[in-house]
Amino acid sequence: MKRKDNNNEKAPFKLERGSKRQKAAYRVTKNQIKEPMKNIKAECPWNLVPKEGDPNNKGRKYTVSVAIPGSVIEIAQSAELRTYLAGEIARAVTIFEVDEVIIYNEDPTRTMENTTSGVYEGSNKPSDPNIFLARILQYLETPSYLRKLLFPVHKDLQYTGLLNPLDAPHHMRLDETSLYREGVTIDKPVKQGAGSFVTCGLRKDVKIDKHIKPGVRVTVELDLDLIQSGDNVKNYKGKVVSPRQPREKHGLYWGYQIRLAKSISDVFKQSSFGSKANYDLTIGISDHGDNAYTTCSKLLSSKNNDDSNDNDDDDDNDDIKNNIPSTFNHLLIVFGGQGGIENAVEVDENIKINRNDTRSLFDLYLNTCPYKGSRAIRLEEQILITMSTLKTLIQQKGAN
């Protein structure tokens, strides 16, 4: 029997878990939160439909490359942290519009592969940190609607769902209008000599002008007149162009390329921009380098000091100016690991100089964080600091 309440007072209402009132209250609260969010849309900061002759859409001819050691991944204690570290590096190079990321091996005892391709077959062997970093960077650079077509299931990609998206210009939404899109050729029947079909993240496939085997990533210039006409067409049309065209013709950043180097000496020997594209300005980042703020200030103010009477300042500026070209086409910025660039140079058998002479390999040897409150600066932090410091210099010296 139930015990009677002597005071004849009703017991306070108790909201039981899973009750109808609780569920109804949850739905109301959820809808109140979601309703204002419907009207919030992130504005696109780029003009994805550039027009010919528009002065605001100038092309960018110069390129920026960044070289980093894959060993930085080994600092993290777990697979989740290693993945997150790679994601932070990808975000940093994307924010500052880096066109090429070179991952070099600084461990001479490790034999590094030259490719990140291959299907994961259940091996429990630890992954090569260089390959691991390259694979994560490639995965994040690829638009989300193409990843399942280009990346098989792999252990290295297990925790990529934790990472922040890059949101680069070539990462399009479904209904976003753009002159260019990244796509992958698909195995769809087509008449001989009539081109190929490409999936570009649109509601319909795109028919291109060239025959390319299925599974190849391509950059497509779309026929926007056909797409925007509203006609009930079976497929859209476009043509294959170089992935450099959005940048060179309209100044649109179109992601980065990945290159693997077996040692730091191999960083200087090749380029992703062709056999004749040599790096005409190289910058090394080291704690033993010159003060970056002072050096950049002298380089940026050199034009204004031509008429100055301060001979000492003029001599200092001339010394710095003689080390670098007036303009560059391909810039290379090299970062070191825990032991710095000097450690990578010391263990490289192809470099016959002392580690104390490392600055002789570069046009500029800079310390971009001379005043710091921490004993060590992590690589992902160093990239952000360095690119922020050099941004104005890059824009002024870059050849267009």
Instruction: State how far Cα 290 lies from the chain centre.
Output: 27
CB neighbour list of residue 169: distance below 8 Å, 6 or more residues apart: 46, 48, 246, 252, 253, 254
Query: What pLDDT score does 16 carry?
Result: 54
Q: Which of 192, 277, 202 is nearest to 233 (CA)?
A: 202
Query: What pLDDT score does 199 carry?
Result: 95
Query: What pLDDT score does 400 carry?
Result: 78
Query: What pLDDT score does 368 carry?
Result: 95
Query: What pLDDT score does 28 carry?
Result: 55
- Residue at 33: amino acid letter: I
- As a whole number of angstroms, the distance between CA 379 and CA 335 comes to 8
- As a whole number of angstroms, the distance between CA 144 and CA 88 comes to 17
Query: What pLDDT score does 39 carry?
Result: 54
Pick out the chain residues at pLDDT < 50.
1, 13, 15, 117-124, 306-309
Neighbours of 32 (CB within 10 A): 9
CB neighbour list of residue 145: distance below 8 Å, 6 or more residues apart: 172, 199, 201
- As a whole number of angstroms, the distance between CA 149 and CA 374 comes to 43
Query: What pLDDT score does 30 carry?
Result: 53
